[in-house]
């Protein structure tokens, strides 16, 4: 049986199938509908620049694309075109290999001529081919059996979405379980052309017929049926009449590839020039009058490899005698395409032996397997290498399937104290007597849960203990990984002896404990040292405050003395009446109370806080100024207060007071030492910040980073200990969790205390 060989130019469709690129999508769809075409070619002055198909409409409708825009904006650009002078067999190959439904046809100057579709190619072959060789059941066996349907009350937009989501060209419509209609890509052309509302029920608009066929129908019958009804799909029913699947023209074309060996004879006869461009090596052999097999023809690939002088030479120049006998035998009884492995020269091939057009000729289509065989040998070497790695690895390895050990390496036998592999095979992992810890052995339930976890997550790492027969404990780290082999879940478990690491970890743990003890001891020592320095700082401040209290007391003591003298004089001259005595006594009491308050403030100031208390900056400042304000004023220093913060802090108030007092006293000392004209100390708040500044000229840049260091002082040895600012920073930052910073402004030094707001 032969196939009629037809040129593409004999069947190409040329009329009304193109539009210019600036035409709207809507106009292109109208042309598609009016001319009953499934494809519109987009041109730019005669050159193909895109293509619009029925399948594209599924996407456009599903995404509600505007149809008023130029068609070039959405036209497909990946276009495959072939020359009109190609044969039909070539076009069929292109369709099959690229999974497409149509081809653009061009002339020798690459100008657009028309289209060739699957349906046209099918019709281009002799009907005898279909009658004799193909039945519906031969194609259906390879088709998906899932039929996607929509109920009759579904909307057009539902049908479009279903076709788009499932990447199908049609959707069946059912009512009460029975197929009553079909919506196809071709119908979408009509719907788009008529601008039918997407919310229209499909029952109102479906027009394409549902054509049913049976498994035993011939493909020619189906092709005739499709042609007469202008459809591309039929519903296939099984022998009992049950709906089986949808079959389309694309499925028929794909099936042709399954029997395409029948076309090779024709292709070789008419297209030897095309064979020169393929990758495989091809020889045509013929038998001469002496029954010798000679090389009659070779394609370009064959001649490049073996030289032009092989033509009309015996094939024995290239093949061994035993292979020659095989070729002669095939020439004598050839009835089908067969594949053999042959060595031709220095190369290895998989050779398809095909009957040529002469009774004494055969074609050898040779696929070069030299590299593949080399790769196969390399794979074998790699497998051998992996096997050696598996067996010789210092880590023990178990392979587990269905909760049983199916393989192992040599190292695991030594680790677990087994004599040979056969003793381990088919054991459940719990039979290895491994322990979770020193006191607990793995139970079967625990082991099965562990296996389930590994299979679920893909891997798991854990540690276990093996107690040897001599009582020696071996710590093992197990890294278990799931591997899928031959569609089965396999566990690859690597056992590594980590006993040395465990001993090192224990020693490190002991070292850490010793180090922690030493660090704690050092901390206690430093804490005691800090407390001593804090006490030293307090004692220094206490002496300074005694001087300030002397100023505070001088005025009230003088007033008390004056009152007493007044009482004494008035008594001597008999001028002391009751009212006068009471008035003078009240003044003495008032002055005495002031002295008492001063003593209380002094005592509270140096009282050690054991717990935090809520307090504001204003309360802290006022408490300090009750003691020192008189002393500062006596030195003609202007004290400026701007306390407007309402923030409350939970802190150690007396320690913060000590810091504030130290900062104020340092500012006072600088102003006096430098004899600043119009000296001034400013105390102000800004949110959670307390800022104490002076106009004493600032701190030199070369020492400003050192002033918080212990025992660093700018004062003389008799006036400064070098602990004040160091302890101030320690108190604020370490004890109270705040910040103490220093900077200079244009007038002098600026100290800033930042404490966290109490949000309770």
* Residue of 283, 288, 262 lying closest to 272 (CA atoms): 283
SS (H, E, C) 444-505: HHHHHHHHHHHHHHCEEEEEEEEECCCCCEEEEEEEEEEEEECCEEEEEEEEEECHHHHHHH
Confidence of residue 262 (pLDDT cuts 50, 70, 90): very low
Over range 470-493, report the average pLDDT: 87
Over range 150-179, report the average pLDDT: 87
Give per-residue pLDDT as tens, 402-457. Answer: 889 999 988 888 888 888 888 889 998 888 878 877 677 778 888 888 888 988 99
Give the single-character DSSP code of 13: B
pLDDT at site 471:
76
CATH 3.90.1010.10 fits 127-258, yes or no: no
Q: Exposed, middle or buried: residue 445 (CB in 10 Å: 0-12, 13-18, 19+)?
A: exposed
Query: In terms of pLDDT, which residue wins out, 602 or 166?
Result: 166
45's tokens = 């002055």
Query: In terms of pLDDT, which residue wins out, 67 or 139?
Result: 67
The architecture (CATH level 2) of 613-754 comes to 2-Layer Sandwich (3.30)
Q: Is 138 helix (H, G, I), strand (E, B) or coil?
A: helix
Domain residues of the chain, as ranges?
Answer: 8-124, 127-258, 271-373, 393-497, 613-754
Pairing of strands 338-344, 347-355: antiparallel
C-alpha to C-alpha distance for 73 and 42, rounded to whole angstroms: 11
> Locate tokens 């493909």: which residue?
219
Give per-residue pLDDT as tens, 50-96. Answer: 888 888 888 888 888 888 999 898 887 778 888 887 777 677 777 77
pTM score of the predicted model: 0.34
CATH 3.40.50.300 fits 393-497, yes or no: no
pLDDT at site 338:
63
C-alpha to C-alpha distance for 304 and 167, rounded to whole angstroms: 45
Q: Does residue 743 register a pLDDT over 80? A: yes
* Residue of 703, 682, 686, 702 lying closest to 745 (CA atoms): 682
pLDDT at site 693:
95
Beta-carbon contacts of residue 720 (< 8 Å; ≥ 6 apart): 713, 714
Over range 620-646, report the average pLDDT: 83
CATH number for the domain whose boundaries are 8-124: 3.10.580.10
Give per-residue pLDDT as tens, 2-55. Answer: 344 467 888 887 777 888 999 998 898 888 888 878 888 898 888 888 888 888
**Mean pLDDT, all residues of the chain:** 79
> Do the domains at 271-373 and 393-497 have one common CATH topology?
yes
Q: Exposed, middle or buried: residue 224 (CB in 10 Å: 0-12, 13-18, 19+)?
A: middle
Over range 149-154, report the average pLDDT: 89
Longest dimension (CA), the chain: 176
Angle at 309 between CA 312 and CA 307, to 5 degrees: 125
Confidence of residue 739 (pLDDT cuts 50, 70, 90): very high
630's tokens = 């008189």
CB atoms under 10 Å from CB of 669, counted, come to 16
C-alpha to C-alpha distance for 218 and 131, rounded to whole angstroms: 6
Q: Is 52 helix (H, G, I), strand (E, B) or coil?
A: strand
Query: In terms of pLDDT, which residue wins out, 271 or 41?
Result: 41
Confidence of residue 333 (pLDDT cuts 50, 70, 90): low
Domain 271-373: CATH superfamily, name plus number = PAS domain (3.30.450.20)
Give per-residue pLDDT as tens, 705-730. Answer: 888 887 777 765 545 556 678 778 88
Q: Does residue 753 register a pLDDT over 90? A: yes
Give per-residue pLDDT as tens, 538-547. Answer: 655 565 656 5
C-alpha to C-alpha distance for 82 and 107, rounded to whole angstroms: 9
> What Rg do the C-alpha atoms of the chain give, in angstroms?
51
C-alpha to C-alpha distance for 315 and 328, rounded to whole angstroms: 11
213's tokens = 């066929």
List C-alpha distances in Å: 219 to 122, 145, 209, 291: 10, 19, 19, 43
Over range 194-213, report the average pLDDT: 86
C-alpha to C-alpha distance for 734 and 521, rounded to whole angstroms: 18
Confidence of residue 738 (pLDDT cuts 50, 70, 90): very high
Q: What are phi and psi of 715, to 5 degrees?
A: -90, 170
CB atoms under 10 Å from CB of 390, counted, come to 16
Give per-residue pLDDT as tens, 453-475. Answer: 988 999 899 888 888 877 788 88
Over range 303-327, report the average pLDDT: 80
390's tokens = 């598996």
Please tell me the total number of residues recorded for the chain in this structure.
760
């Amino acid at each position: 049986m032969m196939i009629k060989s037809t040129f593409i130019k004999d069947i190409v469709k040329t009329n009304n199938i193109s539009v210019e690129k600036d035409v709207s999508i809507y106009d292109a769809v109208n042309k598609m509908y009016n001319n009953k075409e499934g494809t519109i070619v987009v041109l730019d002055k005669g050159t193909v620049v895109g293509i619009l198909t029925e399948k594209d409409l599924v996407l456009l409708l599903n995404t509600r694309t505007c149809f008023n825009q130029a068609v070039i904006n959405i036209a497909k650009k990946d276009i495959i075109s072939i020359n009109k002078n190609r044969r039909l067999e070539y076009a069929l190959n292109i369709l099959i290999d690229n999974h497409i439904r149509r081809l653009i046809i061009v002339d020798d100057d690459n100008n657009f001529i028309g289209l060739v579709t699957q349906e046209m190619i099918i019709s281009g072959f002799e009907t005898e081919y279909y009658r004799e060789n193909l039945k519906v059941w031969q194609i259906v066996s390879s088709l998906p059996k899932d039929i996607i349907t929509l109920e009759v009350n579904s909307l057009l937009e539902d049908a479009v979405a279903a076709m788009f989501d499932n990447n199908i060209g049609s959707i069946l419509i059912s009512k009460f379980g029975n197929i009553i209609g079909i919506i196809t890509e071709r119908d979408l052309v009509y719907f788009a052309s008529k601008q039918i509302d997407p919310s229209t029920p499909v029952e109102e608009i479906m027009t394409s017929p549902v054509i049913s066929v049976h498994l035993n129908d011939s493909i020619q019958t189906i092709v005739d049926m499709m042609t007469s009804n202008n459809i591309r799909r039929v519903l296939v029913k099984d022998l009992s009449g049950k709906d089986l699947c949808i079959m389309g023209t694309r499925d028929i074309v794909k099936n042709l590839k399954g029997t395409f060996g029948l076309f090779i004879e024709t292709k070789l006869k008419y297209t030897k020039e095309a064979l020169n461009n393929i990758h495989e090596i091809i020889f045509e052999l013929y038998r001469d009058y002496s029954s010798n097999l000679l090389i009659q023809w070779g394609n370009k690939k064959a001649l490049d490899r073996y030289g032009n002088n092989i033509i009309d030479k015996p094939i024995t120049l290239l093949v061994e005698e035993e292979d020659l006998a095989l070729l002669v035998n095939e020439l004598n009884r050839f009835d089908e395409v067969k594949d053999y492995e042959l060595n031709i020269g220095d190369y290895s091939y998989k050779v398809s032996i095909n009957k040529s057009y002469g009774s004494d000729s055969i074609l050898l289509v040779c696929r070069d397997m030299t590299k593949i065989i080399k790769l196969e040998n390399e794979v074998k070497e790699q497998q051998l290498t992996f096997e050696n790695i598996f067996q010789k690895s210092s880590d023990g390895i178990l392979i587990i399937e269905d909760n049983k050990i199916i393989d192992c390496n040599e190292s695991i036998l030594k680790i677990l104290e087994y004599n040979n592999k056969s003793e381990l095979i088919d054991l459940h992992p719990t039979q290895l007597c491994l322990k979770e810890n020193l006191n607990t052995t793995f139970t079967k339930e625990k082991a099965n849960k562990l296996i389930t976890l590994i299979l679920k997550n893909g891997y798991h790492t854990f540690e276990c203990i093996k107690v040897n027969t001599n009582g020696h404990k071996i710590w093992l780290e197990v890294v278990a990984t799931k591997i899928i082999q031959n569609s089965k879940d396999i566990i690859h478990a690597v056992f590594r002896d980590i006993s040395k690491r465990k001993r090192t970890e224990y020693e490190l743990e002991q070292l850490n404990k010793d180090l922690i003890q030493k660090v704690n001891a050092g901390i206690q020592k430093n804490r005691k040292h800090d407390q001593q320095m804090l006490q030293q700082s307090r004692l220094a401040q206490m002496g300074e405050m005694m001087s300030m209290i002397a100023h505070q007391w001088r005025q009230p003591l003088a007033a008390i003395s004056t009152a007493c003298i007044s009482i004494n004089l008035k008594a001597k001259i008999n001028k002391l009446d009751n009212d006068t005595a009471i008035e003078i006594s009240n003044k003495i009491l008032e002055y005495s109370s002031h002295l008492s308050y001063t003593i209380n403030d002094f005592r509270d100031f140096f009282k050690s806080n054991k717990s935090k208390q809520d307090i504001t900056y204003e309360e802290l400042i006022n408490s300090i100024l009750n003691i020192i304000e008189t002393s500062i004023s006596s030195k003609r220093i202007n004290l400026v207060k701007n306390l407007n913060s309402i923030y409350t802090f939970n802190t150690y108030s007396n320690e913060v007071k000590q810091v504030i007092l130290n900062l104020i006293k340092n500012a006072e000392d600088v102003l006096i030492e430098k004899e600043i004209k119009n000296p001034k100390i400013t105390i102000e708040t800004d949110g959670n910040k307390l800022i104490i500044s002076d106009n004493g000229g600032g701190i030199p840049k070369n020492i400003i980073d050192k002033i918080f260091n212990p025992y660093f002082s700018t004062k003389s040895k008799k006036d400064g200990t070098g602990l004040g600012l160091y302890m101030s920073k320690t108190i604020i930052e370490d004890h109270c969790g705040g910040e103490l910073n220093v900077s200079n402004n244009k007038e002098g030094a600026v100290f800033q205390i930042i404490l966290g707001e109490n949000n309770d």
